[in-house]
Structure 1
Amino acid sequence: TNPAGRMLNRFSKDMGAMDELLPKSIMDSTQTILTIIGAMVVVMVVQPYFIVPILVLLAILLYARSIYMKTSQNTRRLEGITRSPIFSHIATTLHGLSTIRSFQVQSLLISEFEQHQNVNTGANFMFHSGRFAFGMVLDLIFFVFLAIVVFSFLLMQTDALGDKVGLVVTQITALAGSIQFGIRQSAEMFNHLVAVERLLEYRGLPSEKQPAQDSIALAKVKQWPSSGGIQFKGVNFKYIEEAPLVLRNLCFEIKPKEKIGIVGRTGAGKSSIIGSLFRTALIEGSITIDEVDTAELTLETLRSSISIIPQDPVLFSGTLRKNLDPFDRYSDEVLWRSLELVELKDIAGPLGLQSHVAAGGSNFSVGQRQLLCLARAILRENKILVLDEATANVDPETDRLIQQTIREQFVDCTVLTIAHRLNTIMDYDRVLVMSEGTAVEFGTPRELLEIPNGVFRDIVLATGPAEAENLMNMARKV
């Protein structure tokens, strides 16, 4: 898996290094090479025998560079690796800010941040210490070389002209300085290539497995899915290859237009059913929708044919229109109608569909964000609607509006609801009860409540005597 902090790190800091710092170091290295070539030509014309010590100097500097590069690239990688937990910590802290303040654990989170920051600062200090040490070694080598050049004139050519000596010393000084700068910049160039290396790792990540094109069976029908029938046959599901199965030999059939509630305790595999339906991870077995195997469909076709309202609604920074219809497929009249159906027409304000939506929909309440997702589902007119505990975090009034809209606008659709509030599914056609990745009960709410010591019956009784009695009465009326 790739944590959010690691991705933020690579697509911010590493991307910046590749776009800004790497081109500059490449340009500096190229200019230095041209300067060295020009200076060496001048030295060869005036004193050809100085080429030998210059080449010796170059060899010494390259040797020092090779020693430095062994550690600098590793410390640069270490600095990048230790930076990722900082981004992850900031992202998770911002996401859970209300919880942190509610439990007054700010000092604990600050302490954790300082630990991550100290580790990264240590790695950063090692990298820059290596840079400064390498620069000092280059200065020392250059100083020794320049001293040898000057004393060689005093000892070997006592009759040398001052202008000739000055020209040679000036050119050698410029040449040695250029070599020193070039060696340093070339080392920096290779250090910045670590950022490119880290980005290329993401480029090489394998994409989700899918067929090159949709199955022939899909081409024979005008509209798919046309009715919304779903069938699971021996489905096993896990998130990564090495992980244990989260769904085991799952077999059930959902008829077209049925309203199905999915219940179970935490970790029972409720959300994994939705993941398998959207093919988000590794699946064994067969899942068919209207007699078409989903494994034979491209992910774009499959996922665009199923509407979902998640527990945490997803809204993007932009206009209200772009959030409802990002691909500009619908007219303004259709968009206004969808907003009217979910009673959100008033939130548009004076700008109408061009009203601003902040990142994550932060300028709307949780309930309004859920209703916007519901409006998107109404626009799509898909035959299958999935609600992943969509009303778990909304107030009862918004919950009532969502349930009423679903019952009115999705009459001819198959609806799968992962239920947090059991009263929302007691009038459904059937309820699927999950436990440890398997379907242990599947039937109408009334049938399941009549099973002695049944799992669904226990879940209902756990809500308390008054609420359990209310739920049972709702089931009897269906």
Structure 2
Amino acid sequence: MEYQQEEIMAKPFDWKIMKRLLTYAKPYWFYILIGVIAILLVTVSNLLRPYLVQQAIDNYINNPHISKEQAIQGVIRIGSLYIVIITVAFLINYGQVYLIQYTGQKIIFNLRQQIFEHLQKLSLSFFDRNPVGRLVTRVTNDTDTLNEMYTSVITNLFNDVFIIAGIVIAMVSYNLKLAFIALSTTPLILTGMYIYRKLASQAYRLVRVRLARINAFLSEHISGMKIVQLFVTENKKMEEFKKINKEYYDANMRQLTIFAIFRPSMDVIYSLTLALLIWYGGRDIIAGKIEFGVLYAFVNYLQQLFQPIFDISEKYDILQSAMASAERIFILLDTKEEVKDPEDPIPLEEVKGKIEFKNVWFSYNGKEWVLKDVSFEVNPGETVAFVGATGAGKTSIINLLCRFYDIQKGEILIDGIDIRKVRQQDLRKHIGIVLQDVFLFTGDIKSNIRLNNKNITDNDIYRVAKYVNAHQFIKKLPEGYNSKVTERGSTLSAGQRQLLAFARALAFNPKILVLDEATANIDTETERLIQDALEKLTKGRTTLVIAHRLSTIQHADKIIVLHKGRIREIGTHQELLQKKGLYYNLYMLQYKDQLSESKIS
């Protein structure tokens, strides 16, 4: 619902938004100035054409007072000048279009860079609240819409102003009476434009809402197509989509109907004006008050005068889209990061790996406490496991240690330094995380281990891959370390992705290692490789493990049992079993499940 609502927030035109948009064009003011001058020159050439034809008609073609030779020479001279003007105007127009398009692309390039840079600074809580598709739309579709505004609407605005002003001046200069007749239908034009603006604005907003619903439906159901097919709900979903699609169709038809009325209305007004012009102009020609060429010039100017009016619907749609896109982009850019670096950070160059949580309280929404008065200590080189039911707070501890979120009460210390007093980048470069759901980027094996860190050489990659047992499967790939990796590594098995994640963590050589236990749903052979890699990876590092299978953490130096955000038990595997508390119950529950599975098999 939030996504749908944001599609209709923008006003048809907002001066504050437009002023802010123009600040992005400010660095390119000189290019824009040259473009405007070029538009002015092209407009002058367009206005000169009817004048030249009028001169040819009245002074040479329809002039009984000159000889045939003089008439031909005059027509050739004017014709040659006409061709020169057309050629020069073409070259100027080409340069103007290229320059404006170049400027627009540079503005959008800078804007995209700013948006992506800003996204990287935002706290993780922001991404919890905002779907990926929406953010991608900001960087792509919305910026493209703004490009149309910079290169089309603003350019045509200058062009239209110059054309209208030039035509009015030319008409008045030629004949005041005919100028009054040509402009007599202006009140009808302004009234039609006002009505169209109001109706088109309402229709446009409705189209955007219905389009948002289609996008949301498609995004959700394409992502969940496996579930749709598994539960055989294709027909039901088709009916749901048919209804949403019909609503979008109706909204588009309403918008098209409004346009279908507006454009013919303008054509009628144009035809009415043309008829009046010919009526009165023709009478004046017959009466000998004006020459035929003057009436021709007026007819030509009238056609040019109505062209901007005919194009207004397209420009208005682009402007509305630009206002909506700009508002959404500025809302994103104005979003402040919730986790901020300190103004005077403490350097964190070397880390031994001691971790302390002191009376930590934390809530994601400011209402419900996820962690309640949590305190524990991890010495350098120790392996500590966190166990507990879903929602106990295990993952939250990791998120807080990496400072993806800030705590409300208490302290988190690394080597005795409060992590809120160091830069986030300085903190995170000492922490390596291997998640159960490994994220791999589109590219190759090397780039997914190196992650664009130029200090990590190819030899470093080969060394760490061999050390964590990833080299064995990599060398079997068609192109080895240069083999392509698809989005999220979908062509690799879960075990292969885990081994790559271990190689990545080792390549960056962090002092603190965080492991979201990675041996679930993996075959026995791969699990042995992973366990061997884990032993190598954790050696000499402070290691925090989120444990799902208790059998894999029996050798941890310390096990912390969480329940509903509080620490209930701390000890070794044997100590906790002897207590026969929560850990004992969790272990026996898993053990019984494994026994049952073995009996069934």
Please report the TM-score for the alignment, with normalisation by the length of structure 1. 0.84
Task: Give 1:142 deviation, angstroms.
Answer: 3.1
Residues 414-452 of structure 1: CA deviation (Å, up to 9, x unaligned): 222222222112221222222222222222222322334
Structure 1 position 39 matched with structure 2 position 143:
no
Note if contact 2:217-2:241 (Cα within 8 Å) is conserved in structure 1.
yes
| 1:309 corresponds to which of 425, 431, 434 | 434
Matches within 5 A, 1:171-210: 171-193=300-322, 194-210=324-340
Matches within 5 A, 1:48-197: 48-52=176-180, 57-58=185-186, 60-73=188-201, 75-114=203-242, 116-153=244-281, 159=287, 160-161=289-290, 163=292, 166-167=295-296, 169-193=298-322, 194-197=324-327
Matches within 5 A, 1:1-400: 1-20=129-148, 23-52=151-180, 57-58=185-186, 60-73=188-201, 75-114=203-242, 116-153=244-281, 159=287, 160-161=289-290, 163=292, 166-167=295-296, 169-193=298-322, 194-212=324-342, 215-216=345-346, 218=347, 222-223=349-350, 225-226=351-352, 228-240=353-365, 244-285=368-409, 286-325=411-450, 326-345=452-471, 346-348=473-475, 349=477, 351-400=479-528
AA at the equivalent of 2:470: L
Alpha-carbon RMSD across the aligned residues, in angstroms, is 3.2
Task: Give 1:300 deviation, angstroms.
Answer: 1.7
- Alpha-carbon distance change, 332 to 269 in structure 1, aligned in 2, over 3 angstroms: same
Give the unaligned 5+ runs of structure 2. Answer: 1-128
Q: Bigger shift: 274-283 or 408-417?
A: 274-283
Note if contact 1:25-1:188 (Cα within 8 Å) is conserved in structure 2.
no
- Alpha-carbon distance change, 91 to 427 in structure 1, aligned in 2, over 3 angstroms: farther
AA at the equivalent of 1:458: N
Task: Give 1:75 deviation, angstroms.
Answer: 4.5
Q: Bigger shift: 263-272 or 323-332?
A: 263-272
- Alpha-carbon distance change, 179 to 331 in structure 1, aligned in 2, over 3 angstroms: closer
**2:217, 2:184 → 1: CA distance?**
50
Task: Give 1:308 deviation, angstroms.
Answer: 0.8
Task: Give 1:121 deviation, angstroms.
Answer: 4.1
Aligned to 2:62: none
Task: Give 1:96 deviation, angstroms.
Answer: 4.3
Task: Give 1:188 deviation, angstroms.
Answer: 3.1
**2:251, 2:340 → 1: CA distance?**
41
**1:423, 1:105 → 2: CA distance?**
40
Note if contact 1:29-1:185 (Cα within 8 Å) is conserved in structure 2.
no
AA at the equivalent of 1:304: K
- Alpha-carbon distance change, 131 to 441 in structure 1, aligned in 2, over 3 angstroms: farther
**1:107, 1:95 → 2: CA distance?**
17
Give the unaligned 5+ runs of structure 1. Answer: 471-478
**1:259, 1:58 → 2: CA distance?**
82
Note if contact 1:5-1:85 (Cα within 8 Å) is conserved in structure 2.
no
Note if contact 1:238-1:282 (Cα within 8 Å) is conserved in structure 2.
no
Instruction: Tell me the secondary structure at the aligned position of residue 426 of structure 1.
Output: coil
Q: Bigger shift: 91-100 or 439-448?
A: 91-100
- Alpha-carbon distance change, 276 to 337 in structure 1, aligned in 2, over 3 angstroms: same
- Alpha-carbon distance change, 408 to 202 in structure 1, aligned in 2, over 3 angstroms: same
Structure 1 position 459 matched with structure 2 position 586:
yes
Task: Give 1:315 deviation, angstroms.
Answer: 1.0
**1:110, 1:329 → 2: CA distance?**
52
**1:214, 1:372 → 2: CA distance?**
37
Please report the TM-score for the alignment, with normalisation by the length of structure 2. 0.69
**1:337, 1:56 → 2: CA distance?**
84
**2:378, 2:548 → 1: CA distance?**
21
- Alpha-carbon distance change, 174 to 396 in structure 1, aligned in 2, over 3 angstroms: same
**2:247, 2:419 → 1: CA distance?**
47
AA at the equivalent of 2:320: N
Instruction: Tell me the secondary structure at the aligned position of residue 161 of structure 2.
Output: helix
AA at the equivalent of 1:306: I
Note if contact 2:228-2:234 (Cα within 8 Å) is conserved in structure 1.
yes
Note if contact 1:321-1:353 (Cα within 8 Å) is conserved in structure 2.
yes
AA at the equivalent of 1:293: D
Note if contact 1:260-1:430 (Cα within 8 Å) is conserved in structure 2.
yes
Task: Give 1:15 deviation, angstroms.
Answer: 2.9
Instruction: Tell me the secondary structure at the aligned position of residue 408 of structure 2.
Output: strand
Higher normalized helix content (fraction of residues): 2
Percent identity, aligned pairs only, is 29
- Alpha-carbon distance change, 74 to 163 in structure 1, aligned in 2, over 3 angstroms: same
Note if contact 2:203-2:251 (Cα within 8 Å) is conserved in structure 1.
yes
Q: Bigger shift: 324-333 or 62-71?
A: 62-71
AA at the equivalent of 1:310: L
Residues 92-132 of structure 1: CA deviation (Å, up to 9, x unaligned): 44544445444444445545554554454444444444443
**1:57, 1:246 → 2: CA distance?**
70
Task: Give 1:324 deviation, angstroms.
Answer: 0.8
